Amino acid sequence: MARRIKDLPECDRPREKLWAKGAAALSDAELLAILIGSGTKRKSALELAKEILEAGHGRLDQVGLEALTQIKGLGKAKVSRIAAALELARRHFQRGAPKVREPEEALPYFQELRDKKQEHFAVLTLNGAREVIRFRVVTVGLLDSSQVHPREVYAEAISDRAAAIIVGHNHPSGNLQPSPEDLAITRQLAEAGRLLGIDLLDHLIVTKNGWLSLRREGYL
């Protein structure tokens, strides 16, 4: 049977230590044990916390929901509490991640494509708070066409654990109007996103002289 936290000297119990010395005095495992709340017959909350940290090699941001659920003694409620606390902390204390709410806020990422002589197709991945995770060029086409498949686009989004994406490409010809192929891939990406639970927020087309949002034009 695990040694329970209440069996520890009062000065060593995470909650009591927090009130006596402040949160900064606690180790990562002690802070995490407070979030977990209670242990099991075999593991104390502190032991569960240490196991979680070991799973992420000391980095909680490296431990996803799937990894947490594999730890015996962590039920859905405890996993949800930990995941929610980490996300709140990341959103409110890790400053600097730009948010994208309108096409104009995504446009600067795709503007680098406008002078390309070949068609480049790129994806901007976003988290649940609509904060930018990463911008990538997915494919580079020929003079006036780009071959792209939904699996290439969403492979990047899944890798980033994204909640949403914005895609975009350039038209070297300078013509801003979407081609039938542009509309077809937009429909395919939207449908794939619905199946995967990753929203396709927009598809931008950029040229040397302007840009266009397929969502604003009513294609999404």
CA–CA separation, 204 and 189 (whole Å): 13
CA–CA separation, 29 and 142 (whole Å): 53
CA–CA separation, 4 and 16 (whole Å): 14
Task: Based on the fold, state whether residues 79 and 145 are members of the same structural domain.
Answer: no
> Of 65, 93, 121, which one is at a domain's C-terminal end?
93
pLDDT at 112 over 70: yes
- 3-state SS, residue 136: strand
Task: Based on the fold, state whether residues 80 and 110 are members of the same structural domain.
Answer: no
pLDDT on residue 143: 47
Task: Based on the fold, state whether residues 88 and 109 are members of the same structural domain.
Answer: no
Task: Based on the fold, state whether residues 72 and 108 are members of the same structural domain.
Answer: no
Q: pLDDT tens digits, residue range 152-195? A: 899 989 988 899 999 999 999 999 999 999 999 999 999 999 99
- Give the CATH number for residue 141: 3.40.140.10
Q: pLDDT tens digits, residue range 38-80? A: 887 788 888 888 888 887 776 676 677 777 888 888 888 888 8
Judge whether 127 lies within some domain: yes
Distances (CA, A) of 132 to 29, 60, 106, 189: 30, 20, 9, 19
Q: pLDDT tens digits, residue range 209-219? A: 899 999 999 99
Judge whether 218 lies within some domain: no
Q: What percent of the chain is modeled with pLDDT above 70?
A: 87
Place 5 in a pLDDT band, splitting at 50, 70 and 90.
Answer: low
Quick count: other Cβ atoms within 10 Å of Cβ 42?
11
What is the Cα Rg of the chain in Å?
A: 23
Task: Based on the fold, state whether residues 112 and 83 are members of the same structural domain.
Answer: no
Judge whether 220 lies within some domain: no
pLDDT at 122 over 60: yes
Judge whether 207 lies within some domain: yes
- Domain extent at residue 143: 103-213
197 vs 23 pLDDT, higher one: 197
- Average pLDDT of the chain is 84
Judge whether 138 lies within some domain: yes
> In residues, how long is the chain?
220
State the Cα angle at 56 between 50 and 57, rounded to 5°.
Answer: 80
pLDDT on residue 105: 93
Task: Based on the fold, state whether residues 209 and 113 are members of the same structural domain.
Answer: yes
Judge whether 35 lies within some domain: yes
- 3-state SS, residue 164: strand
Task: Based on the fold, state whether residues 53 and 107 are members of the same structural domain.
Answer: no
> How many domains does the structure of the chain reveal?
2
Task: Based on the fold, state whether residues 193 and 111 are members of the same structural domain.
Answer: yes
